[in-house]
Amino acid sequence: MTAAEQVTDPICAHGEGPVWHPGWGGLRWVDMLAGDVLTLGDTVTRRNFGKVAAVMRPRTSGGAVLAVERGFVLLDNGSDGFGAGTEPRFLGELWSSQDVRMNEGGCDPDGRFYCGSMPYDETSPVGKVYRLDPSGEVSVVLEGVTISNGFAFSPDNSVAYYVDTPTHRIDAFDYDPVNGLTNRRVAVAVPEEAGGPDGLTVDAEGYIWLALFGGSAVHRYAPDGRLDGRIELPTSQITACTFGGADLDKLYITTSQLALEPGSQALAGALFVADVGVRGLPAHPFAG
């Protein structure tokens, strides 16, 4: 069992989507339903992108790609995507219903950006996982999703891990550049009493780190599904995690205040970090 240290005050209503990228100076994450992207520095800075800012990744050309409420945004100029002249370039709505929004995602090893949608009511399987190719083409790679969440790859890039929270599973897919995601199967069955499986990341040893919404913890699972470790946190709604720091040996963890009684959990919405004794993997960038 490992302890986590508090990094920020409880500044997010619904912290999510952390990602570390040296090109923009370190860690960014989102206050998702406020539509804000946060950057960690001597102080935390925010930039708003409308109603929802779901998940962000760096671009190989500089700048960033971001999933917003109903589509994708490119930030073209400036090495970190936030420099002078970096006006967002919205690629268009993918659907018109105001009952569904983007939630979580990431990039594959070939530079394609994925994000899964979910219904605001969190109960009906009307979500989809979309893939934005470097060409700008968008395709649907999964349907029938309820709360689309964590998305990450094994160290050799041959396996993708994915969460649809109500299934209480981490699923695995075989991955290759031509066929994409195939051979879906259960990698980890998460007991309901542990909390809802949320965001995840994979370390350099191939172990999966899973945030547990309602579970006050991050679990580390072996590739064979065995529970290998646990990080306890002083608030219940743990949303996502990523490796960061110069050596990618610190696990940053986001948390949420969503639907909690005001004042019931003093540290809900804070960012935490844990020294976990292993290194992570660099975030795959978007090639577009």
Instruction: Write out the catalytic residue numbers.
Output: 198
DSSP string for 45-66:
EEEE-SS-EEEEEEBTTSSEEE
Pairing of strands 227-232, 2-3: parallel
DSSP string for 99-165:
TEEEEEEEE-TTS-EEEEEEETTS-SS-EEEEEE-TTS-EEEEEEEESSEEEEEE-TTSSEEEEEEG
Question: Does residue 25 contact residue 42 with C-beta atoms inside 8 Å?
Answer: no
* Cα gap 50→216, rounded to integer Å: 30
How many helices (H) and strands (E) are present in the chain, helices listed first?
Answer: 0, 25
DSSP string for 62-94:
SSEEEEETTEEEEE-SSTTS-STT--EEEEEES
Determine the distance from the C-alpha atom of residue 219 to the mean position of all C-alpha atoms in its chain, rounded to a whole number. 16
Distances (CA, A) of 204 to 160, 207, 208, 209, 278: 14, 7, 10, 11, 7
Opening angle at CA 261, ends 257 and 263, nearest 5: 80
* Cα gap 210→120, rounded to integer Å: 23
Instruction: DSSP letter for 285, please.
Output: P
Q: Which residues of 66-96 are buried (b: 16+ CB within 10 A; e: fewer)?
A: bbbbbbbbbbeeeebbbeeebebeebeebee
